[in-house]
Each structure stands twice: as structure tokens, then as C-alpha cells.
Amino acid sequence: MPINYYIFLSIALFCIGIAGVLTRRNAIIIFMCIELMLNAVNLLLVAFSKMHSAAAAALPDAATVGTDGQLFVFFIMVVAAAEVSVGLAIIVMMYRNIHSVDVNFLNRLKH
């Protein structure tokens, strides 16, 4: 399959994620949308990694070309997990105080 299909798919997923972050009001759904953005990036990185290794098939070091893209994906997964654990803790902390996870409540600091 041409690389363009992968690029369009992951850009579409990424844009769905951005639209969700900007329009949704529930903190947990916003969080899911951010995860969607990160996973779109993962998909794109794996596709690019495959593309670069296919392009370098004729070169002598073809076996290692493109592996760094896939390694990056693992780092993104680890960091996303850390971010989710902290994020959910913060959301739970807020729920304990105001019994809601609606971000419209977040207006005490405006003035």
C-alpha cells in the first residue's frame, strides 16, 4: 500500500483527537482524545519506519534502517502511560472536591 494512505489515516485520527479536545467538556473524554492523538502518531511512526527501511533495502545497513522509529513508539507508550496515571489521579482528586469531572467548572481562576 502507498504510504499516503497511512499518512491520511493518521492525520484524520489526529484531527479527530484535536477536535475532541477542543469541543468536549468531560475531562475523561478529553483525556481519551489526547490518547487518540498520541496513537495516531504511533501509527504514523511505524508506517514511516517501514517506508524508510523499504527505501534502504539496497543499502548495506538495511537491517537497522528505520528501527529507531519503532523504538520511539515504545517510548511514547511508556510516557503516555505515566501521563495517564498522573492525569487520572488529578481527575479523581478533582472529583472528590466538586463531585464532577466537567471542565466547565474550571472557572474559579478567571478573576
Partner 1 sequence: MNALIISAILGVIMMFSGILLKQKSGVRGIAIGGLVLVLLSNVLEMNGTHFFNVNLHGMMEFDHFSLLFVSVIIGAMLFYFILSARDMEKVGGYYAEYFALLFFILCGIVLVTSFKSLLILFLGIEIISIPLYILTGSDKRNLKSNEASLKYLLTGSFSTGLMLMGIALIYGATGTFDVAKMKLGLSEQPELLAIAGMLLLLFSMSFKVSAAPFHFWTPDVYDGAPTVFTAFMATIVKAAVFIGFIRLFGDTFGGMAPKWQFWVAVLAAATLFIGNITAVFQQSVKRMLAYSSIAQAGFMLLALFAMNQDAREGILLYSVAYSLATIGIFAVLGRMNDYTFEGFNGLARRQPLVAAVLTICLLSLAGIPLTAGFLAKFYMLKAAMAAGTQFWLVIFAVLMAAVSVYYYFRVIQAMYFKEGEANVTVSAGFKTALVVLAALIIVLGVAPELILYWLYF
- Interaction site with partner 1 (CB under 8 A): 7, 14, 17-18, 21, 27, 30-31, 34, 37-38, 40-41, 44-45, 48, 51-52, 55, 65-66, 68-69, 71-72, 75-76, 79, 82-83, 86-87, 90-91, 93-94, 97-98, 103, 105-106, 108-110
CB of 89 closer than 8 Å to CB of 28: no
CB of 6 closer than 8 Å to CB of 43: yes
Residue with cell 487520572: 88
C-alpha gyration radius of the chain: 19
Compute the half-sphere exposure of residue 29: CA atoms within 13 Å on the CB side of its CA: 12
Compute the half-sphere exposure of residue 86: CA atoms within 13 Å on the CB side of its CA: 5
